[in-house]
Amino acid sequence: MDQDLFSRGPSPAVRLTFFILASLLLLVSDAHYNYLKAMRQGISTAIYPLQRIAMAPVEFLGSIGSYAHAQSKLVRENAALQKQNLENQAALLRYQALQQENIRLRRLFDAREKIESPAVMAEILSDERDPFSRKVIVDRGLQAHVAVGSAVIDDRGVIGQVLSVYPFSSEVSLITDKGHPTPVQVLRNGLRAVVFGFGSSDLLDLRYMATNVDILPGDLLVTSGLDGIFPAGIPVAKVVKVDRNPAYAFSRILCQPVAGVDQFSQVLILSSNSPEKGKN
């Protein structure tokens, strides 16, 4: 029937005019009276699933691109943060090391103020790891007026004694060197004795003390000053073990050095034959 209408009905011009007028009438009616609002809502509701299905591939591809971009950005930011964290940790370690060195240098200056004799600050250049001897090389020698036999200390106590002097360096024998003698006295009761190094150990041996000697674990040993090398009163070691065996003539007494013999790099080299400040 429709086919007959269009094939034998009004002319195309009449039909065009009719549809234009009908369109205008619908537009005016919808604009003033909203007659087609319900129809539009119904059509929109009906075609919404089709719109979502049509847009799904585009949204899926867009979400994949956004995820890839965000993932790449997160990876770059994470790498940058890890690098910054490592740099901050390295800077913190350097700062802490400098802070500790600064504290030690201030203590060395304080230790030098307590000694009347001239003192030269030196830095350890190398450590001779010999199982039978304990020696270090420092960066001060004849040019700094260092003499053989000079005492070497740090901010805690006695380190050793200058063994050899060269133009720009010196060799220092540590108090833990095998057989190295250091005259001491017990701070608690003034008892005089001599401690010797073991060489391969960080302990000292307080030799030739009777089994009934008045020495107890925890006693502090200081330099006696009788050798004319070390000023009197500088801490040397602390007693850690006293073995009184009646089967032997002497006690077995072991001591731990109080100075950082194997720990730090700055030391003070003192002149010989000089009393400690405040001592008569």
CATH (domain of 124): 2.40.10.340
Q: What is the pLDDT of residues 39-69, one digit of tens each?
A: 667 777 877 787 778 777 877 777 787 777 7
Q: Is residue 142 part of a domain?
A: yes
Q: Is residue 249 part of a domain?
A: yes
Coil, strand, or helix at residue 130?
A: strand
pLDDT-above-90 percentage for the chain: 21
* Sign of torsion over alpha carbons 209, 214, 215, 217: positive
Number of separate domains in the chain: 1
Q: Is residue 82 part of a domain?
A: no
Q: Which of 147, 163, 159, 175 is nearest to 104 (CA)?
A: 159
Mean pLDDT of 106-121: 68
DSSP classification of residue 187: T
Judged against a pLDDT cut of 60, whether residue 5 lies above it is answered with no
Q: What is the pLDDT of residues 232-265, one digit of tens each?
A: 888 999 999 999 888 888 889 999 999 877 777 7
The range of the structural domain enclosing residue 201 comes to 119-270
Judged against a pLDDT cut of 70, whether residue 75 lies above it is answered with yes
Q: Is residue 221 part of a domain?
A: yes
Q: Are 242 and 199 in contact (CB under 8 A)?
A: no
pLDDT confidence bin for 95, thresholds 50/70/90: low
Judged against a pLDDT cut of 60, whether residue 228 lies above it is answered with yes
Answer left, alpha or beta for residue 179, where phi above 0 means left and psi between -120 and 50 means alpha.
left
Q: Is residue 139 part of a domain?
A: yes
Q: What is the pLDDT of residues 117-160, one digit of tens each?
A: 678 888 888 877 666 678 889 999 999 889 998 989 888 888 99
* Residue 10 CB neighbour total at 10 angstroms: 12
Q: Output the DSSP codes for 29-91.
A: HHHHH-TTHHHHHHHHHHHHHHHHHHHHHHHHHHHHHHHHHHHHHHHHHHHHHHHHHHHHHHH
User: Rounded to whole angstroms, how far apart are CA atoms 208 and 49?
Assistant: 103
Q: Is residue 33 part of a domain?
A: no
Q: Is residue 123 part of a domain?
A: yes
